[in-house]
Amino acid sequence: MSGYSDNIIRNASGLVPMVIEQTSRGERSYDIYSRLLKERIIFLLGEVEDHMANLVVAQLLFLESENPEKDISLYINSPGGVVTAGLAIYDTMQFIKPDVSTLCIGQAASAAALLLCAGADGKRFCLPNSRVMIHQPLGGYRGQATDIEIHARETLAVRERLNSIMAKHTKKTPDQIMRDTERDNFMSATQAAEYGLIDKVIYDREVVSNPEE
């Protein structure tokens, strides 16, 4: 059984390769993402929304149940998306026992940048041509003035919480995070490392295999 829904796979790329493994019971085919899940690799691809977040959370919990001591790798290529969906993934990353190593391949923007920096200490990486972007949460509301005021207060409360989380993982103050996310703030992989969003820019697999070095 595939670890990814068929709809998500089709939407992600239109065509996903299948791989075939020889087992004692014969051949077994997997889509490529499910095969990599067996290696404890989870992909966070595309917009962060509720259905995608549920899949990522389920995979994190499954891999914890398989082996609570072995690291999980989260590969990120995402423009961000819904804040609450991102926080569902974030909370699960912090909740489970295994360390979650994060790796940006392509881009990590908005909520995806938060997840990138939320990896285990010393295990947060970017490939050299990755791009990272942080900013304040977006909101647009219509309706009665009272409802608009309620939503505005909620947006400010969420922004304060996001600033606090990012400050914790970058070792900066919430006030500095607030200033730096006032507008879209784009960074190269090297700049993301200097800012504290990641620990290292990596050029080969050896660094990922031995993050403590």
Tell me the catalytic residues: 110, 135
**197: closest CA among 128, 114, 135?**
114
The vertex-159 CA angle with 154 and 162, nearest 5°, equals 125
DSSP 91-138: HHHHHSSS-EEEEEEEEEETHHHHHHHTSPTT-EEE-TT-EEEE-PPP
3-state secondary structure of 211: coil
**44: closest CA among 15, 10, 79, 17?**
79
In whole angstroms, give the CA distance from residue 196 to residue 81: 22
Beta bridge partners of 42: 74
